[in-house]
């Protein structure tokens, strides 16, 4: 539940010009407005499950988009089985929306292909219909070796672009240059995995394998391990064990019970998995391409003047 300093679950993924929202708890639109991001005309919202602390922000946000007079673009809400029933119940309260609203139910193991990356759903263990989400970028072509291209006599210009896209070119003299001759090894893309609410689960370890960032819930500390089992949530140490087994680069713990500040959870998790952070509201996790460094928590990275108390 929310506290004076923490809002319930919502994560915005910014990738290039795209803005993807994962979960939309009560107050999400206002937290976005208070941040340096603002409230963009989101086109896609992904719900992990239909517990109230993960979707209650949606009706208000949809009404705001309506009041802004949004007709385009449309909005698609993805979520587990039960999403359509939820929206049919919300409909009388939402009234007419001037923009197209689509709901898409997803089962674990589905893949949404989208050009240079994909979103995969996976099973979690929370006792209700629920999916985790993995955003997985395609491999990128290797680095272009200018010296090699010069040596092979590839003229500067469109031929080099062609090679960079992985297509062979035929030079004026008739010689064929293969892309391999001027490109380094393919470079991995990035992978971000969001679990939503879950007890520690092998399916999460598998889905998160090699991720740059694993956003895992850690509702409880060790002292409440029993309660974590009963409620199908995770402790910080359990989330850390998942991160260790999955060999991720950074673990971000969220969904922290109001009993904890975050620092005690970080301490317990780091004994098992040192690269753990517990982001606060308005923090940002930067995820560079692997060759450019490790993912990093930027404290207050999305703070703005509106974030500060008056």
Residues 23, 41, 53, 180: which is the catalytic one? Answer: 53
Question: Do 214 and 208 form a contact (C-beta atoms < 8 A)?
Answer: yes
Q: Which is nearer to Zn ion, 164 or 231 (CB)?
A: 231
Q: Which stretch binds Zn ion (CB under 5 A): 90-98, 155-163, 192-200, 290-298?
A: 192-200
Which residues make beta-bridge pairs with 21? Answer: 12, 45
Q: Tell me, yes or no, if 283 is annotated catalytic.
A: no
CB of 243 to Zn ion, least distance (A): 19
**Paired tokens of 123:** 């099973």
Q: Which residue has the tokens 């703070």?
A: 303
Q: Hey, what long-range contacts does 295-298 have (CB within 8 A, 24 or more apart)?
A: 295/212, 295/213, 295/249, 295/250, 296/250, 297/250, 297/252
CB of 118 to Zn ion, least distance (A): 25
CB of 198 to Zn ion, least distance (A): 9
Q: Which is nearer to Zn ion, 56 or 101 (CB)?
A: 56
**Alpha-carbon distance 254 to 197, whole Å?**
9
Closest of 142, 258, 113, 135 to residue 207, by C-alpha: 135
**Alpha-carbon distance 8 to 100, whole Å?**
27
**Paired tokens of 192:** 């971000």
Q: List phi, psi (to 5°) of 32.
A: -65, -45
Question: What is residue 284's three-state secondary structure?
Answer: strand
Question: What is residue 207's three-state secondary structure?
Answer: helix
E strands, 47-168, in order = 75-79, 101-105, 111-114, 117-123, 131-137
Number of residues assigned to the chain: 310
CB of 136 to Zn ion, least distance (A): 24
Number of residues that bind Zn ion (CB under 5 A): 3
Single residue of 23, 197, 238, 281 touching Zn ion by CB under 5 A: 197
Q: Which stretch binds Zn ion (CB under 5 A): 61-69, 169-177, 182-190, 196-204?
A: 196-204
Q: Which stretch binds Zn ion (CB under 5 A): 73-81, 197-205, 243-251, 278-286?
A: 197-205
Q: Which is nearer to Zn ion, 101 or 129 (CB)?
A: 129
38-57 mask for Zn ion (x: CB under 5 A)?
-------------x-x----
26 binds Zn ion (CB under 5 A): no
23 binds Zn ion (CB under 5 A): no
CB of 27 to Zn ion, least distance (A): 14
Q: Which stretch binds Zn ion (CB under 5 A): 26-34, 58-66, 81-89, 194-202?
A: 194-202
191 binds Zn ion (CB under 5 A): no
224 binds Zn ion (CB under 5 A): no
Q: Given the rule CB under 5 A, which residues bind Zn ion? A: 51, 53, 197
Task: List residues with catalytic annotation.
Answer: 53
């Amino acid at each position: 539940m929310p506290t004076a300093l923490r809002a319930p679950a919502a994560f915005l993924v910014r990738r290039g010009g795209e803005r993807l929202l994962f979960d939309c708890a009560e107050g999400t639109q206002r937290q976005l407005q208070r941040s340096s991001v603002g409230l963009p005309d989101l086109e896609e919202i992904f719900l992990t499950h239909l517990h109230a602390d993960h979707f209650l922000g949606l009706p208000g946000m949809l009404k705001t988009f309506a009041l802004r007079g949004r007709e385009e673009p449309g909005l698609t809400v993805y979520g587990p089985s039960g999403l359509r029933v939820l929206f049919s119940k919300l409909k009388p309260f939402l009234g007419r929306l001037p923009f197209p609203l689509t709901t898409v139910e997803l089962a674990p193991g589905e893949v949404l292909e989208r050009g240079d990356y994909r979103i995969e759903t996976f099973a979690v263990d929370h006792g209700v219909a629920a999916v985790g989400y993995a955003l997985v970028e395609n491999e990128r072509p290797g680095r272009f070796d200018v010296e090699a291209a010069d040596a092979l006599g590839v003229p500067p210009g469109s031929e080099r672009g062609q090679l960079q896209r992985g297509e062979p070119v035929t030079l004026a003299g008739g010689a064929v240059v293969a892309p391999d001759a001027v490109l380094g090894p393919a470079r991995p893309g990035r992978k971000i995995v969001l679990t939503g609410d879950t007890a520690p689960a092998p399916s999460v370890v598998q889905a998160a394998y090699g991720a740059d960032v694993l956003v895992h819930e850690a509702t409880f500390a060790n002292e409440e391990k029993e309660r974590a089992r009963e409620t199908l949530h995770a402790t910080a140490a359990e989330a850390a064990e998942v991160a260790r087994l999955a060999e991720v680069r950074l673990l971000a713990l969220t969904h922290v019970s109001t009993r904890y500040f975050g620092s005690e959870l970080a301490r317990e998790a780091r004994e098992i998995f040192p690269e753990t952070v517990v982001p606060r509201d308005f923090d940002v996790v930067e995820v560079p391409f692997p060759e450019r460094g490790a993912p990093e928590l930027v404290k207050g990275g999305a703070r703005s003047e509106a974030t500060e108390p008056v």
